[in-house]
């Protein structure tokens, strides 16, 4: 997901997306443990997406308090 798309979303939408990404991360970890992981590079992409969403949430929170 691109940063411009994230900026247009509300905090609630970002929280939902964050929960979805955490679930996907859990599923990938289970696949890795069972030897069924097909795309190992998805871990890195997930970490980046989570970081981007957390950054957007912090930016929105700081703008709301200012």
The Cβ of residue 46 has, within 10 Å, a number of other Cβ atoms equal to: 15
- pLDDT tops 90 at residue 12: yes
Cα–chain-centroid distance for residue 52? 7
Answer yes or no: are the C-beta atoms of 17 and 52 closer than 8 Å: no
Residue that is written with structure tokens 């929280």 in the block: 15
- Whole-number percent of the chain with pLDDT over 70: 98
Residue 1 CA neighbour count, 13 Å, CB half: 21
pLDDT in tens, 32-57: 999 999 999 999 999 999 999 999 99
Predicted TM-score of the model (pTM):
0.86
Taking the CA atoms of 22, 16, 60 and 56 in sequence, report the sign of the dihedral they define: positive
């Amino acid at each position: 997901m691109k940063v411009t798309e994230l900026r247009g979303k509300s905090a609630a939408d970002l929280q939902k997306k964050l929960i979805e990404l955490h679930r996907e991360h859990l599923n990938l970890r289970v696949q890795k443990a069972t030897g069924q992981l097909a795309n190992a590079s998805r871990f890195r992409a997930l970490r980046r997406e989570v970081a981007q969403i957390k950054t957007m949430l912090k930016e929105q929170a700081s703008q709301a308090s200012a």
